Chains A and B, each alone.
Chain A
Amino acid sequence: MRSFTGFNSALQQEHFYENYIETERYPITSFNGKIIEKIDFNANGSYTIRAKGKLFVHGESQERIIKSTLDIRDQKAVVHSEFTILLSDHNIDIPKIVSQKIATEIRVEVDATLYRKPPSK
């Protein structure tokens, strides 16, 4: 969880983790699901896929369909995804007094590179 970057300031990052996501209580944020489209992982190419699963943030699970691009190149697959998490979906409260300064949603960008595991000998 603590691996997020891209905050506007250190204070924002601190608030994000301590007050809103409350990583002390909920250290793990995860997404479990499956890819709806049928992808042949052996074929090189760029695909737009959608994954349906449960997004677990701040103790609340929400079923989401998340769109990503999948780039398969030989031995590795690169996943890039952009999606928003609505604070209200995951029980994250913002004190009213600062609500004007804080957006009601979190914009998330994910970049991941997957390496093909060599076949076991």
Chain B
Amino acid sequence: MLKALFLLVGLLLQWAIAYGQAPLLRSHPNKEFPDVKPTTLFQSREGWIWLGGEGGLLRFDGQHFEQFPLPDSNDLQVTAIYESSDRLWVGFQSGKIAYLESRLSNWPVANLSLEPQPFHYWSLEAAQLTSAISGFLLDSSGNLWISTYGDGLYCWSEGSMYRFNEQDETISSNDIYQMVLGADNRIWVATDAGISICSLTAAGQKRVQRLGTADGLPDEIVTCLLPDPSGNMWIGTYDHGVCRYNIGKAVFDFGTPDWSLGHVSAMATFGNQEIWVGTNKNGLHCIDIPAGTIRVQSPDAPIGKLKINALLKDREGQIWLLADRNNLYSLNIAFGLLETPDKDVQSILVDKHENIWVGTAKGLYLQQSGGFKNLLPRENILSIAELSDGTMLAGSFGNGLWIMSPKGGKIRHMTENEGIPNGSILSITTDVDGFWLATLGGAARCSWQAPFAPQDCICETLQDLGANYVYKVFKDKKGRVWFGTDGKGLFMLFNGSLRQFKEINGKTIRTVYDIEEDYKGQIWFTTAANGLYRWDGSSFFNYTISQQLHSNAIQSLNLDNKGKLLLGYEDGLDIFNTVIGHVAFQNNSTGLPAQSFNLNADCRDAKGNIWLGSSTGVMKYTSTQESFHYDPTPSITAVTVFMKAIDFSKIHAFQYDQNYMVLHFAGLWFTNPDQVRFRYKMEGYDLDWKVTKDHLASYSNLPDGHYLFRVQTSEHGSFDHTPEASYAFSISKAFWRTWWFIGLSCFTLAGVFYFWINGRENRFQREALLRKEKADSQFAALKSQINPHFLFNSFNTLITIIEEQPKTAVEYVEHLSDFYRSMMSYREKDFISLQDEMAIVHDFYYLLQKRFEDNFHLQSPTQIPNGFIMPLTLQMLVENAVKHNVISKAHPLQIDIFIENAQWMVVRNNLQSKIIADPSTHFGLRSLIERYSLVSSQKVIVEKPPPILLLRCP
């Protein structure tokens, strides 16, 4: 039953053998690593394209290939590549599996040598795989599925390995070509014996459903599978082409009977509209899903001859191919070139039956079932239009208007003699029961009486416009008719009144070439020298090269029905996405098959695709709803500190001496890698953005602080609204610059300074005190020595001696004068030698001895050491002793002066206190003690063990 249904459906579908539009093949030769012959392609999340095959693993950035080192240099044949959330997986022909941490997969290969072992083998005791790995998949439950070519299917779930193979009668064959995840969340596996749909229940049970020829599969040998966005599964087979399985309804609802294009080797979808099929000897073909037709590439076109091994659709909407002997190609499948018999196309129209009408200098061509038929040979056709009933209109250069039937039969030929203003008709637009002509002699409206009878068609020239060139006539949805003229600007006709737009925003618009209306009802028009304008009903907006347009001389303007403008130039095409405000330029080097577009040679078909006439044929732009990347993706690929790479995903803080940093970045843009420019800025260091084409920024001596490194990419030089990648990090201060260190040092310094000042103060104070004391004591000594008592006693003694012993008296006077002289001279000194002091003491003793005779004895050391003592110290002590003690025959006074311990001068006398003490202030002793304390650290010690008085002086 199912089979019958399938056959029925197959018959109903159209099978167009007409050759499709060929996209341009761009070749990316791998010259750097000729030993690597890739057979599998993969694009990672960061955007890099990975190629694996015999000889190893390569990574491609659009311009250069880099080879990644694999763990075993003898086992280099890579057969599968996959990326999970944190790892890049690689499967080998030998059955081994290795993985690389995702962050390392972005590093430049040169930095990988800094990691001890980037790739690790994934080893399992549970199962030893020995057959080539053909694919990896992570399902929504987190299970890892591994398909092999020869060993069946494996599933790694929660620590256990499950095996599906022929032996346990789950899957139909052990050789798995491809494994995909279906919309039903089951694993679809393509083998030589049909399709096996596998799943693992939560309880660990294996479930398999098989699809084979009995179910409607056209061929048991299934070589590829591709789930599409609507939830269907596309199936590529060995001999019977492509078919589609509707999972929901469990039927096959599309097929390609009579397929003769070889084995299907790979497939890719393009929105919901196209399936691109790669074959093993006939190149690449495109299945138009809504129409159910296949656009076959001509076998003579380069793309029709390729042996395709792998296909990859990238994030920018391009298709990559590995073909023939492992050559890499890329195609921009949005653009296809249709070659016409006469290449220089002046006008183009796709009618509602999807027939293609092409006007050139050599005639009007209609494409039908494989070929082009020239309906108006030798006519120079400039414009084509279609009326609501299917009648076709063709305007020529100098020879007026042709009215044709939908199949191309001529109905009428109108020339200047029949009422049209000029024989050169540049543009035609339809109106309610009529149409407008834009000619080199003004504009005219043609109409007829209902029902349509072209023989009755009459034309009326629009008088107010004047007789000059009209390049374009356009009718918008509101019923207004617009005219683009040469020299007089833009005109609008509404409700019978004509309005001229010549001065716009201060500029004079003379020549308007093309006029279109977008889905919002805004009017766009192109001018000869002022670029593009948009009118939203009240104001005009201008777009020129300042808004990133390629040039101000726009040859053709067209809009798809999704907000994109296509601007054709003589040397390329701009795609202006008005919704996001982004302009992308394309030409041959980005994969555009045609690049020199002719004036106003463009049309939009019923599906929203845009057809552009160029000097090399007709180029078709297929617009799609799929959102592709339209900006290069910036990413920071490595950070090195003093040339040593660091893991910058984890490390964000550095020491003060880790400040020579080089940051590597990449901007992946496969559409036009040569045009990628970067600009970067180190927030916290750089004052402004730096624009460069290099892939690194280096900073050789960063001071401490917090930084944010930002890098942006652009493919056209303007960096507004471009994506950005950044890295934040900080460098800590050297310890000698930290706050606490500086604070502490300052504080310490201040403290030291304070104490030093204080010490000086103290010293000054002490010195001042010393001087005072000295002055005081000198004064006191002087006073005491001029003490009348002493003088009186001395003279008394003298008197007694003079008469009896005149010689002694002379001696006495000599000693007295010596004593006074010494006292006077030593008075000012701070220290005098011990010898000098002893000399004074001896003089004093002599004087006293003469007075007291035998009642007074002084013992002094015979050996007087070197030393210094304060002047008059000993003398004063002796004087004190004499003053305070009784000296009589009964009580003689004995004074001993001796040296103790080489440090002390000791004066000892036996204590005999007077009963009536002389008034004494004790000043002398006190002063002595004070003075000594100022000068020396050792103190004068007074001891009074009766009956002895002892004084020690240091």
Chain A residues whose CB sits within 8 angstroms of the CB of B818 once the complex forms? none
| Shortest Cβ distance from residue A86 to the other chain B in the assembled complex, whole angstroms | 9
Not counting A36-B193, A52-B175, a sample of 10 additional A-B residue pairs whose C-beta atoms are within 8 angstroms of each other reads A36-B220, A36-B221, A37-B220, A50-B239, A52-B192, A52-B221, A65-B192, A65-B221, A65-B238, A67-B239
| Shortest Cβ distance from residue B555 to the other chain A in the assembled complex, whole angstroms | 45
Chain B residues whose CB sits within 8 angstroms of the CB of A50 once the complex forms? 221, 238-239
Within 8 A of A (CB), among B159-194: 175, 192-193
Nearest CB in chain B to that of A52: its residue? B192
Within 8 A of A (CB), among B188-217: 192-193
Within 8 A of B (CB), among A3-29: none
Within 8 A of B (CB), among A75-105: 88
| Shortest Cβ distance from residue B141 to the other chain A in the assembled complex, whole angstroms | 33
Q: Is the interface of A mostly helix, strand, loop or mixed?
A: strand
Count of residues in A whose CB is under 8 Å from the partner chain: 7
| Shortest Cβ distance from residue B165 to the other chain A in the assembled complex, whole angstroms | 15
Nearest CB in chain B to that of A50: its residue? B221
With the chains together, A21 CA to B325 CA distance in Å? 21
Task: List residues of A whose CB falls within 8 A of some B CB.
Answer: 36-37, 50, 52, 65, 67, 88
Size bracket, chain B contacts: under 10
Chain B residues whose CB sits within 8 angstroms of the CB of A37 once the complex forms? 220
Q: Is the interface of B mostly helix, strand, loop or mixed?
A: loop
| Shortest Cβ distance from residue A17 to the other chain B in the assembled complex, whole angstroms | 27
Within 8 A of A (CB), among B278-330: 325
Chain A residues whose CB sits within 8 angstroms of the CB of B220 once the complex forms? 36-37
Within 8 A of A (CB), among B821-855: none
Chain A residues whose CB sits within 8 angstroms of the CB of B193 once the complex forms? 36
Chain A residues whose CB sits within 8 angstroms of the CB of B192 once the complex forms? 36, 52, 65
For this complex, 16 residue pairs linking A to B, each with C-beta atoms less than 8 Å apart, are: A36-B192, A36-B193, A36-B220, A36-B221, A37-B220, A50-B221, A50-B238, A50-B239, A52-B175, A52-B192, A52-B221, A65-B192, A65-B221, A65-B238, A67-B239, A88-B325
With the chains together, A50 CA to B263 CA distance in Å? 13
Nearest CB in chain B to that of A36: its residue? B192
With the chains together, A52 CA to B239 CA distance in Å? 14
Chain A residues whose CB sits within 8 angstroms of the CB of B325 once the complex forms? 88
| Shortest Cβ distance from residue B212 to the other chain A in the assembled complex, whole angstroms | 10
Nearest CB in chain A to that of B263: its residue? A65
With the chains together, A15 CA to B336 CA distance in Å? 46
| Shortest Cβ distance from residue A83 to the other chain B in the assembled complex, whole angstroms | 13
| Shortest Cβ distance from residue A53 to the other chain B in the assembled complex, whole angstroms | 11
Across the A-B interface, give the 6 residue pairs with the lowest CB-CB distance, nearest first.
Answer: A36-B192, A52-B192, A36-B220, A36-B221, A65-B238, A50-B221
| Shortest Cβ distance from residue A106 to the other chain B in the assembled complex, whole angstroms | 16
Within 8 A of A (CB), among B708-736: none
With the chains together, A56 CA to B239 CA distance in Å? 23
With the chains together, A50 CA to B325 CA distance in Å? 26
With the chains together, A52 CA to B149 CA distance in Å? 13
Chain A residues whose CB sits within 8 angstroms of the CB of B238 once the complex forms? 50, 65
With the chains together, A9 CA to B193 CA distance in Å? 43
Nearest CB in chain B to that of A37: its residue? B220
Within 8 A of A (CB), among B320-360: 325
Nearest CB in chain B to that of A38: its residue? B193
With the chains together, A65 CA to B239 CA distance in Å? 11
| Shortest Cβ distance from residue B351 to the other chain A in the assembled complex, whole angstroms | 43
Chain A residues whose CB sits within 8 angstroms of the CB of B221 once the complex forms? 36, 50, 52, 65
Chain B residues whose CB sits within 8 angstroms of the CB of A36 once the complex forms? 192-193, 220-221
| Shortest Cβ distance from residue B312 to the other chain A in the assembled complex, whole angstroms | 23
With the chains together, A50 CA to B221 CA distance in Å? 9
| Shortest Cβ distance from residue B593 to the other chain A in the assembled complex, whole angstroms | 29
Chain A residues whose CB sits within 8 angstroms of the CB of B239 once the complex forms? 50, 67
Nearest CB in chain A to that of B223: its residue? A65
With the chains together, A37 CA to B212 CA distance in Å? 11
B213-248 interface code vs A (CB 8 A; 1 in, 0 out) = 000000011000000000000000011000000000
With the chains together, A65 CA to B175 CA distance in Å? 13
| Shortest Cβ distance from residue A51 to the other chain B in the assembled complex, whole angstroms | 10
With the chains together, A36 CA to B239 CA distance in Å? 13
| Shortest Cβ distance from residue A41 to the other chain B in the assembled complex, whole angstroms | 18
| Shortest Cβ distance from residue A76 to the other chain B in the assembled complex, whole angstroms | 26
